Amino acid sequence: MKLLEERILKDGRAVNEDILRVDTFINHQVDPELMSKCAKDFASHFRGKGITKVVTIESSGISPALLTACDMGIPLVILKKQPSKVLNDNLYQTMVTSFTKGTNYELTLSKDVIGENDHVLIIDDFLANGEAVTAAVRLLRMAHATVAGVGVLIEKAFQPGREKLTDAGFEVYALARIGSMSRDRIEFI
């Protein structure tokens, strides 16, 4: 998506060859007009696939995911991060390790909000190592739901996230695909 690529070039900041800061328009301050256009792109790409719910992982995925759900006229489910296992029969949980942030958490889904009749679109801000989305897929499988595809704002194509997901049979739709970057240069695929 040209608009997102242009905004990354204008306001994104590559901290090094691996990490892109997007704090002024996606992650910390959010540009609602840009997010709304990104959401329209996701919605038109995935429309007509029988999707019943949009699912995201807290917290930075929430703004594009909410606007996508709004555009598609379906609910949004936010997978929560808990610091440790919660003993509760009504929850599914799975451990996630974030390589970028060096943290572990239990991704959590209530049995009340996703079930076997759901066909889900996963939306997130970044696709890096694909650990978060893979964990989301594990939870959705525990709930016997199916996955229609994965939409991300920014894919760091030099990391293995896409390969992991496509090898598992999922369609990945990224609005901006970064092939490489350094402090003074960002290149898109």
Please, what is the minimum distance in Å from the beta carbon of residue 92 to ligand G4P? 18
Q: What are phi and psi of 50, to 5 degrees?
A: 70, 30
Residue 140 in the binding site for ligand G4P (CB under 6 A): no
Between residue 6 and residue 65, which ones bind ligand G4P under the rule CB under 6 A?
A: 19-22, 27, 57, 59-61
Q: Which of residues 98 and 146 has its CB atom nearest to ligand G4P in the complex?
A: 98
Counting beta carbons within 10 angstroms of the beta carbon of residue 50, is it exposed (0 to 12), middle (13 to 18) or buried (19 or more)? exposed
Report how many residues bind ligand G4P under the rule CB under 6 A: 23
Residue 137 pairs with which residues in a beta bridge? none
- Give the residue with the Cβ less far from ligand G4P, 107 or 114: 107
Out of 132, 139, 157, 175, the only residue in the binding site for ligand G4P (CB under 6 A) is 132
At its nearest, how many Å lie between ligand G4P and the CB of residue 39? 17
Residue 72, exposed/middle/buried by CB under 10 A (0-12, 13-18, 19+)? buried
Measured distance CA(126)–CA(169) in Å, rounded: 19
Nearest distance in Å: CB 27, ligand G4P: 5
The tokens describing 186, both together, are 């960002």
For residue 130, state whether it binds ligand G4P (rule: CB under 6 A): yes
CB-CB neighbours of 16 under 10 Å: 9
Span from 32-40, 83-91, 95-103, 168-176 in contact with ligand G4P (CB under 6 A): 95-103
Measured from the Cβ of residue 5, the count of other Cβ atoms closer than 10 Å reads 17
Name the site residues for ligand G4P (rule: CB under 6 A): 19-22, 27, 57, 59-61, 98-101, 125-132, 156, 161
